[in-house]
Structure 1
């Protein structure tokens, strides 16, 4: 289907597609994104509020430029290292805010002088925590207390949820135009497709137009039109449903296998996304366990790598991704990991 749309565009390509497009992205794609967000995430916005770019790494710095140089920001800790680096590279003052099983701790945010907070409420990266209803209300209340306060909502992994009802975006609950919504097609379509977007509150549109008056979109117009047509004809929704079934099958297989080791392994963050978090009860340190896994050619990621200060927790914790592994390889891979850690199934005796 994708090839068909690409061929049609090339066959029918007019000179117009070879010219520079609209700075915010093609209207056809922005219209489809607005429709999709309303239907799937409860986000009400117009195409004029949407800006299309080539990924979070390009769009987030654009958002930072909408705020004064002395604006203070808050980030989830642990969080996405690339985001941490972007704030650091742009020399922005950052407050690290703790995360627990209900998401970012809002009362810790309230103690800071931050005006803008970056959060991943649908599936916190990397812990997998879902921001609770109470915390969502607290976050929106915090933002509403000052005209300079905003929330950057990164909804990167929201399409893939395996338990419970779909959770609306934080933006859908916002009645004061305080949420800047971000998402990407990287996980939902393909990593090589560098198409992402953000939705600006109306108050920030004028600032955006002033700052990026001479900006050109970094996403090829051909790519934008292919995605727009793919969404327009219902193929994106069908693709998501198909991928949800595939990932749910992998997720169920992985969690059921790990349940055999629940005497020393606890799973968190398993409601959504393409990774889970393992709490490992072991006499060895996080670094030692990672070394053993690496020697066994098992790729896991220590939670300490995602902390702003890279501090190791008292108990070893690891991210374990499952999006790219075939279902039939999950069980032998987990058995290989548990063997290298000398962790036995819970029904087996450790006596010799």
Structure 2
């Protein structure tokens, strides 16, 4: 079987498996929400509300129906692209909540990814180019620490140092409360600022984004540091690298121009897997920094037992992770000709 035919079969199989993965996620979220203690009606009306009012609300929301019937109704709504309406913010659809809060999460995720790749690849390349030295040991230690440190603890430490003590960065919002944010077109403050030609708003938005994105990006950079360090060490022992050294090519040029680009191929694969880690880390980062993103809204919905919002956001995140995984796998297959499926 030729490579192109095998690649088409692989892409088709991934596309067919993606709906199955999303269905499993939908089912797990639905069951886990209803298995955990707590009543959404008590969260909305209060535990001291009259039982008649509680019963009427449960009937209106369909919570009195058997679990299997609730599940079928939920799947039917999803097939019509209806994610439901929030229980705690009456009349607000889940789609509107996603549209309102997701841009802040996109900005945080994108800049965290940029920080993690730049920091991780730089430290990994530096450590691999100096094997069995303090730099190599420092790179290994950096990877272990960033993997083990909890996101919320690291975020609070950075807030105490850089926001409270040194007062270098703000916390708690995306834009100063005393100023008008950019006119919303995309919801991305950085993009909207540039569309308006407002450089002051652009740098202000970047200033407020800096500390949360550094927190999440540094913690995820350890993943890329370990991959680059291990693969670059193996690449530097390859025959073509030794041949380049024999021709008298300077070592920095060998590392950057010959070895590093081959060592970065696994990084492309990890990028897809890191999307899930970014979304998971974004929840803790947004809660720690009170960042008004979709992950923070998900945390609030879980706290208030807002079934439609939790289910809708989890489905939305699941679709993003599935699409990102498929795209990265396809790109990796095209970039690396050694891959066979």
More helix as a share of residues: 2
Q: Which protein, 1 or 2, shows the higher relative CO under an 8 Å CA cutoff with sep ≥ 6?
A: 2
Greater C-alpha radius of gyration:
2
More strand as a share of residues: 1
> Do both proteins adopt the same fold according to a TM-score greater than 0.5, normalized to the shorter chain?
no
TM-score (norm 1): 0.23
